[in-house]
Amino acid sequence: MTNATVTKETLIKSDLKPTIVNGRSDAMAPGLSRRSLFMAAGAAGVGGAASLLAPDRAQAQSTDWTQPGNNNHVIDLQATSRFADGAVGIDFYGHCAFKIVSPGGATVLFDPWRDDPSGAWGLWFKQKFPETVVDITMSTHTHFDHDAIDRPVSTMVLDRMVGSFEFADLRITGFADKHACLAPGWYKWTDALAEFGVKACPPDNVGHMDMVTYLVETGGIRTLIWGDNRPDPGPGFWESIGRVDVLTLPVDGSQHILSYAQGNAIVERLQPKIVIPSHYLNEATTYTLSTLQPADEWVKAQKSYRFLDSATLSLTAAEVAGMDREFRYFGANVHSA
């Protein structure tokens, strides 16, 4: 038999004699054979013996390096004057995914969604999140419906960022807090965590129930991306946030994250100029298997609201200044690219 004809089977069955590594041994392991090496690698999660013997090429875990385009746009934006005058764009991609476009042209996308890769939560979305070209991608927390940060074609990824970041005519501040941990609606999804033996509520919550809310300042407008944050944030939260012009809130007809009363209380506390519902059933992107419902009922109960006819909202600081808790509802209008 030549080396060229050696197979995986003959390699495993032969040459089982222990081979001393570095000339050392101990009472528990007098030597290390090829078989014991493969078994140890499998126990450690290295892929097992089969993967070590497989002839396949090594593959990178990330596919980000295959993204098209380059960072020319970001290089140009570095020269943009800070807080330029002009309109601020807010584009809706369904669920909690919003893209903010600064007057200077900088773009930041929040909470791109995907289906739960484990399959435990079923199918929520009708397609993959579009490969949208943006400068910055950000996620508020690690739940599947907020963390598809690999999907946008993004030059920068700031995942769950706490603290301040400035770029071009954008300033983004992340405030660490906690995810809502008591489901107020009929579907008690938070009870599922107890079935896995973990705690949902602070201070001993499991890590994926940590949250970051983002305050985005550009064009003279301050937008607060609430994510799935709890309705009663920790000490100092409200004072740190300060003035809010535009507020996104996860309130839907099933009251999955926040109840109507909790959403209304947050609006009264922050007194935003504009409120944009999020995390609701959207016929363009979301299946009813998500258990979510549209936000129509909550919106129609407000003193001032408008159902938008497109997936883009353009705002200037001058027009926003004269508003008071006006609801702007994207409904089924979403961007698909």
Higher pLDDT: 286 or 31? It is 286
CB of 278 within 8 A of CB of 250? yes
Sheet holding 274-278, edge to edge: 163-167, 170-178, 210-218, 221-225, 246-250, 274-278, 326-329, 305-307
- β-pair partners for 166: 171
d(CA 137, CA 112): 8
Phi-psi region of 225 (alpha: psi -120 to 50; beta: other; left: phi over 0): beta
CATH number for region 72-329: 3.60.15.10
Tell me what the mean pLDDT of segment 18-27 comes to: 42
Weakest mean pLDDT among 28-32, 173-177, 239-243, 309-313: 28-32
d(CA 175, CA 141): 12
pLDDT at 41: 38
Retrieve residue 35's tokens. Answer: 């078989």
d(CA 253, CA 188): 14
Q: Residue with structure tokens 């979403």?
A: 334
- β-pair partners for 249: 277
CB of 169 within 8 A of CB of 103? yes
pLDDT at 315: 98
Query: How many residues in the chain?
Result: 337
pLDDT at 21: 43
Q: Where are the beta strands (DSSP E) in the chain?
A: 88-92, 98-101, 107-110, 133-139, 153-159, 163-167, 170-178, 210-218, 221-225, 246-250, 274-278, 305-307, 312-315, 326-329
Pairing assessment for the beta strands 221-225 and 305-307 based on DSSP bridges: unpaired
d(CA 79, CA 76): 6
Q: Is the pTM of this model over 0.75?
A: yes
Q: Has residue 14 got a pLDDT over 60?
A: no
Q: Where do the domains of the chain lie?
A: 3-53, 72-329
Model confidence pLDDT, tens digit, residues 35-88: 343 333 333 333 433 443 444 555 556 677 777 888 899 998 988 766 778 999
CB of 282 within 8 A of CB of 258? no
Tell me what the mean pLDDT of segment 243-247 comes to: 98
